[in-house]
Amino acid sequence: MLLLSLFFSAFISASIFPFASEVVFIAALDEGLNPVIVLAVGTLGNTLGALLTWWLARLAREGKLGFKAKPSSAKASAFYNRFGKWTLLFSWVPLIGDAFPGLAGWFKLPFWQTILLVAVAKCGRYLVLMAAYFAW
């Protein structure tokens, strides 16, 4: 049950809704669950939540969400043109990181590039959290 809670907390925290999955992640480790499984579940949930943001932004750009999306701002375009897909490696950063998959979806970054870069970032974040937990 704790792994299911971890998956959903990680998913929600990486989507457009604010939430912190770190508490559930640490609780799962504290319960003695297999760290590899905890890492995999957290990474999967967090990655899929980011992909939801990517997909919604892509649909919004194409006008498939029932409203007409505004064109991208000059600042967003300049930022994405400068840093592009590599911003996804910072999708783990609290508060601002959730916007990067949205930008990738808006600017139509391919799905496989998105999932690979986001998964690396999310896994890295949980690895650092896990290392800190075991070092403590």
For residue 103, what are the domain limits?
2-135
Six-digit token pair at 72?
């991208």
Residue whose pair of structure tokens reads 């003695």 in the numeric block: 32
* Residue 78 pLDDT grade (very low, low, confident, very high; cuts 50, 70, 90): confident
DSSP assignment, residue 107? T
Distance between CA atoms of residues 66 and 75, nearest Å: 25
The domain tally of the chain equals 1
Predicted pLDDT of residue 7: 97
Q: What is the pLDDT of residues 110-135, one digit of tens each?
A: 999 999 999 999 999 999 999 999 99
Residue 38 has pLDDT above 90, yes or no: yes
Q: Who wins on pLDDT, 133 or 96?
A: 133
Predicted pLDDT of residue 101: 96
Distance between CA atoms of residues 46 and 43, nearest Å: 5
Report in angstroms the alpha-carbon separations of 89 from 24, 59, 71: 23, 22, 25
Predicted pLDDT of residue 52: 95
Predicted pLDDT of residue 8: 96
Six-digit token pair at 75?
């600042």
Distance between CA atoms of residues 73 and 53, nearest Å: 18
Type of residue found at 79:
F
Residue 44 contacts residue 81 (beta carbons within 8 Å): no
Mean pLDDT of the chain: 92
Residue 110 contacts residue 3 (beta carbons within 8 Å): no
Distance between CA atoms of residues 7 and 62, nearest Å: 29
Type of residue found at 41:
V
Residue 6 has pLDDT above 90, yes or no: yes
